A and B are shown apart, each in its own frame.
Chain A
Amino acid sequence: MKTIAAVDAWLTYIVETVMVVLFAIFLVIVCAKVLLRPFDQSIYGVDELVKIAFLTTSALGGAVAISKREHIAITFFIEALPRPLTMALYIFGLLLIAVMNAALLYLSFDWIAGPGGNIWQPFGMRQAYVFVVVPIACGLAIFYCVAKIALTLSGDESIDRLWMPED
């Protein structure tokens, strides 16, 4: 279990670092656009670059939010149940999240092979290069679900807090 917890923490650290770097990049780009506006200057293709960086951080962030239990959920009802039932429903929920991500992962193969062949303008590259972030994030989410289930069942993670509320 210690290995799973360590891999979980290490992977989260790496992905969060990537997200912070991407966030810094698109923050700088957007501010550069604002500064260039009075001079009637623009940078070619930056909006698309920002969009790609943002959707990458969103997809990866959605997976990391599973590891950190930060997704928004209505936990009021299951928290009122006896503890074993709360734990069972929490684990069942994680299983369902894994199933949803597995479905997206499966569907992404055809999607990448089909529409992924189109060109992403203005960069002239195949859209598949951007689309691929979805199966990567789904794979990551499945890993986090399995890790959370294992750590919860072994008692290494408590169920005192299930999912964090919004804000």
Chain B
Amino acid sequence: MLILFGSLLILLIIGVPIAYSLGLASLAYFLIEAPFGTGFVIQRFFAGINNYALVSLPFFILMGLVMNSGGITRRLLDLSMFFVGRLKGGLGLVNVVGSMIFGGISGSSASDTASIGSILIPEMERRGYPKNFAAGITVASSTMGMIIPPSVPMIIYAIAAEESIGRLFLGGIIPGLMVGVFQLLIVWRIASARGFPTENVPFTLEEGLRQFRRSAAVALMPVLIVGSVVFGFVTPTETAGAAAVYGLIIGFFLVGISVFRDLPGAMRTAIIMSAKIMMIIAFSQVFITVLALERVPDRLADLIGGLGLNATSFLLLTAFLILLAGTFIDVSPAILLLTPVLLPVAEQFGISGVHFGVIMVSGLAVGACTPPVGNCLNVCAAICRLPIGTIFLGAAPFLLGNVAVLALICVFPQLVMWIPNTVMGP
């Protein structure tokens, strides 16, 4: 086991890609500890990529890429402006509400940061907001992209944990909305204290209907996706495929995306992005086999059992570990590394896999905004030309809202489980 974890740690630190670090550490284990089992390496690797449910990954990524185009984002921000623009700190509030809607569409925090940040950060700066405040709220609010369904990390967790994608999507709704509400309150409080401006937006029925008509086809997309997965009209893979095509149709008619000019590039990006996640999934299957051979989850369960923890204190401890891991490891690899180790222990405490998954994704979402390995920070730094440390300090007050929600869902499982249990049964 020392060979496995020692070599993995060294490989990760010296910058070997995470997928290959998992593969090499497992290969080293087999060669030194169990040479008879080297055949497992290729079998488990292939089993990792031979999974029909995973086909949904490139489809959701493609949909997110199409939705990332400026015209669609602008419409969603105009809709958000109608709702909250006239309040104190209007543009900050628009940033949060925009992320709540956009997160449900793109399924990715970094896409959210890129598309909303490139429009709102310069606009907020022009209206007198401090640049680190504008960048901070953009980064922090983008975390909802992972929690509010549909969410790519939720799909990856569902596959790693063999859980229902529909239940996980539903489980993310309340925590995602809670993060949004907490962040709205924090923005409003700071804006009131520092005298940030309001926006001159007409709040009339005509204007509301006009904004809704402009963005209804886009804003209703998450409802259609989650509804079709949850109610079983089609499988998650088929939903993802249909959503990708729906996104293309919207993009074609609303913002003039060209099938011949833009689509091949978006498809190429989607397939490479999904392939690099697939490589991690494939090699993590080899790694999981080694963990099972070494009985790591059982040993960990024995260790934690000896501490005399109850389910809630175990979840709080796990949430802390997830926050810590998230600062160093990207979201997808962290899910694939931590799930096989921690989920069996959680199940021994009687914790639902859905509850655990929402905690994991919510915790790792914070990690995407913390240095040194925070993707959203890197994306935002490229947009606003601020050091990631400055952006993180700007985001910190809002991330407290995320941490508060994380603690609440650890203590009150019903915040996660109520919707899935009500809609899909216990």
Decide: B329 and A47 in contact? CB cutoff 8 A. no
Interface flag for A89 (CB, 8 Å): yes
Residue pair B241, A27 in contact (C-beta under 8 Å): yes
Of A62, A89, A99, which contacts B14 at CB under 8 A? A89
**A108 beta carbon closer than 8 Å to chain B:** yes
Report if A19-B55 is in contact (Cβ < 8 Å); known contacts: A31-B245, A78-B14.
Answer: no
Task: Give the Cβ gap from A129 to chain B, nearest Cβ, in Å.
Answer: 13
User: In whole angstroms, what is the CA distance A73 to B13 when docked?
Assistant: 9
Complex Cα distance A97/B19, Å? 10
How many positions in chain A have a CB within 8 Å of any CB in the partner chain? 58
B residues within 8 A CB of A167? 108-111, 273, 375, 379
- Within 8 Å by CB of B55, from A54, A61, A131, lies A54
A125 to nearest B CB, angstroms? 15
Which B residues between 1 and 52 are near A, CB-CB below 8 angstroms? 11-20, 23-24, 27, 38-39, 41-43, 45-46, 49-52
Residues in A with CB closer than 8 Å to B389 are none
Check if A143 is an interface residue, CB within 8 A of chain B: no
Q: Which listed residue (A57, A77, A115, A163) contacts B17, Cβ 8 A? A: A163
Q: Tell me how many residues of B have a C-beta within 8 Å of chain A.
A: 68
| Binary contact readout A92-126 vs B (1 if CB under 8 angstroms, 0 otherwise) | 11001101100110011011000100000000000
Contact assessment for B52 and A47 in the assembled complex, using a CB-CB cutoff below 8 Å: yes
Per the bound structure, the CA–CA distance linking A134 and B11 in Å amounts to 23
Task: Name, among B276, B280, B375, the residue most crowded by chain A CB atoms within 10 Å (CB to CB).
Answer: B276
Contact A50 B52, beta carbon cutoff 8 Å: yes
Main secondary structure of the interface of B (DSSP, over half): helix
Q: Quick one: given A23-B267, A72-B332, A167-B111, are A111 and B39 in contact (CB under 8 Å)?
A: yes
Point out the residues of chain B lying under 8 angstroms from A31, CB to CB: 241-242, 245
When C-beta atoms are compared, the residue in chain A nearest to B152 turns out to be A167
Contact indicator B245/A27 (Cβ below 8 Å)? yes
A34 to B229, CA, bound (A): 12
Q: Which residue from chain B places its CB closest to the CB of A101 in the assembled complex?
A: B20
Chain B residues positioned under 8 Å from A90 (CB to CB): 15
Number of A-B residue pairs at CB separation under 8 A: 189
Residue of B nearest to A69 (CB): B17
Q: Kindly report which residue of chain A lies nearest to residue B24, judged by CB atoms.
A: A100
- How many angstroms from the CA of A65 to the CA of B274 in the assembled complex? 10
Q: Is the CB of A104 within 8 A of B270?
A: no
Q: Are B330 and A72 in contact (CB under 8 A)?
A: yes
Partner among B42, B111, B268 whose Cβ is within 8 Å of the Cβ of A111: B42
Q: Which residues of B contact A70 (CB under 8 A)?
A: 272-273, 276
Give the distance to chain B from A157, nearest Cβ to Cβ, in Å.
Answer: 16
B56 to chain A, nearest CB (A): 9
Is B328 at the interface (CB under 8 A from chain A)? yes
Given A73-B16, A166-B375, A60 contacting B275 (CB threshold 8 A): yes
Closest to A114 in B: B39
Closest A residue to B379 by beta carbon equals: A167
Query: Is A39 positioned at the interface, with any CB of B under 8 Å from its CB?
Result: no
Q: How far is the CB of A141 from chain B (nearest CB, A)?
A: 9
Give chain B nearest CB distance to A166 CB in angstroms: 4
CB of A6 within 8 A of chain B?
A: no
**Residue on B nearest A74 in the bound complex, by CB:** B12
Interface of A is mostly: helix
A132 CA to B408 CA in the complex, in Å? Answer: 49
Complex-state Cα separation, A111 to B50, whole angstroms: 15
With beta carbons under 8 angstroms apart, the residue of A30, A65, A166 that contacts B279 is: A65
A55 close to chain B: CB less than 8 A: yes
The distance from the CB of B258 to the nearest CB of chain A, in whole angstroms, is 15
Q: Is the CB of B27 within 8 A of A27?
A: no
Task: Return the CB mask of A73-85 against B: 1 if under 8 Å, else 0.
Answer: 1111111000000
* B-contacting residues, A14-73, CB 8 Å: 16, 19-20, 23-24, 26-27, 30-31, 33-34, 37, 47, 50-51, 54-55, 57-62, 64-65, 68, 70-73
Known A-B contacts A27-B59, A72-B17, A72-B332; the reply to A51 vs B279 at CB < 8 A is no
Q: How far is the CA of A78 from the CA of B17 in the complex (A)?
A: 12
Q: Is the Cβ of B24 less than 8 Å from the Cβ of A110?
A: no
Instruction: Decide yes or no whether B183 CB sits under 8 A from chain A.
Output: no
Known contacts being A61-B274, A107-B39, is A55 close to B49, with CB within 8 Å? yes
Q: Is B271 an interface residue (CB 8 A)?
A: yes
Contact: B16 with A72, CB < 8 Å? no
User: Is A162 part of the contact surface with B, judged by Cβ < 8 Å?
Assistant: yes
B55:A30 contact, CB within 8 angstroms: yes
Contact of B20 among A27, A71, A166 (CB under 8 A): A71
A73 adjacent to B18 (CB under 8 Å): yes
Q: Quote the shortest CB–CB distance from B281 to chain A (angstroms).
A: 9
Given A60-B275, A73-B16, A165-B330, also A30-B59 (CB < 8 A) = yes
For window 297-336 of B, CB contacts with A under 8 Å fall at 328-333
Q: Which 5 pairs of residues, A with B, have the shortest CB-CB distance?
A: A61-B275, A30-B241, A167-B110, A71-B17, A58-B278
Q: List 9 A-B contacts (CB under 8 A).
A: A37-B233, A70-B272, A70-B276, A71-B17, A72-B333, A96-B16, A96-B20, A166-B110, A167-B109
Question: Beyond A61-B275, A74-B328: 9 further Cβ-contacts under 8 Å?
Answer: A23-B58, A27-B245, A31-B245, A55-B50, A64-B275, A79-B15, A104-B45, A134-B45, A167-B379
